[in-house]
Amino acid sequence: MTTFHFNGQPLDNDLVTSISSLLDAINIPNLLWGNYLLTVYGVPTIVDGISFVIPDALIEISFSTLAEAGFHLCSRHLDCPHSNSIHCPPPYKHLHIDDELAISLYKKSDVLWEFPEFETTFHDTSADITIMFASDARLPLATLGRGRGRFFPHLSSVRIPSPSKYCEAVILLLCRDYGTARESYWLAILTYVVEFVDGTDIFDEGGLREGYRRFYHALKRGDPEMYLILEDLRRDFMQSPCL
């Protein structure tokens, strides 16, 4: 088992890997999420911490494990911007690296409910269309004016959603939160994908499922038809047994 303990290490790929490995060591599958994930795809966005998606049944033990490893409990409660934002979905639980940076834990059922169960997918080599490693050579290198890019090969334990499946997940979240204050957040994320991820080796628009592909293509072209397509997707979403 890893003996990692947090004692003020800076927020970087090494710290992300240490946290992921700590959870892996106690059989808690975890998937990188949030703005840090976007930087791995090559998006030059502000990073305010690290986010992970965790299976629902394991999120409490994940939280206690990270607290025992030395990360700080939040003392601001509802006054903390990491738990009280109306524009982006708050995590189920979070801890702090410092006053500004947080480790956020999201329930799988809240953001990636259509993804296969992590416990089986992480050990299935045929599932690489859904999940990949943050050190995958297909991901971009760090580039001036872009994001952090892929992790070094020795930091190979961190898993991320494949960009195409991430795009579909964000479109689903847009369907769920359409008409709320969070709608603009998900649209901004999709705009980042169009601007910085589309056209790279890691993203295949043709690999998106039919309705998602039509919406994404209309969004990319600035076609107002995107809203009609989104209504169709929302209708299917509202009828989904996963809702």
Query: Is 107 found in the same domain as 150?
Result: yes
Query: Is 152 found in the same domain as 167?
Result: no
DSSP letters for 221-241: HT-THHHHHHHHHHHHHHT-T
pLDDT digits (tens, 9 = 90+) for 31-70: 999 999 999 999 999 999 999 999 999 999 999 999 999 9
Query: Is 116 found in the same domain as 62?
Result: yes
Question: What phi and psi values does residue 100 have, to the nearest 5 degrees?
Answer: -100, -30
pLDDT digits (tens, 9 = 90+) for 115-126: 999 877 776 655
Owning domain of residue 174: 163-238
Q: Are 18 and 2 in contact (CB under 8 A)?
A: yes
For the chain, the domain total comes to 2
Q: Among 132, 161, 190, where does a domain finish?
A: 161
The enclosing domain of 47 has a CATH number of: 3.30.460
pLDDT, the chain, mean: 91
Query: Is 168 found in the same domain as 157?
Result: no
Query: Is 216 found in the same domain as 138?
Result: no
Rounded mean pLDDT of 121-132?
71
**In this structure, what DSSP letter does residue 180 have?**
S
Per-residue pLDDT at 88: 84
Rounded mean pLDDT of 118-142?
81
Query: Is 186 found in the same domain as 100?
Result: no
Query: Is 224 found in the same domain as 151?
Result: no
Rounded mean pLDDT of 109-115?
95
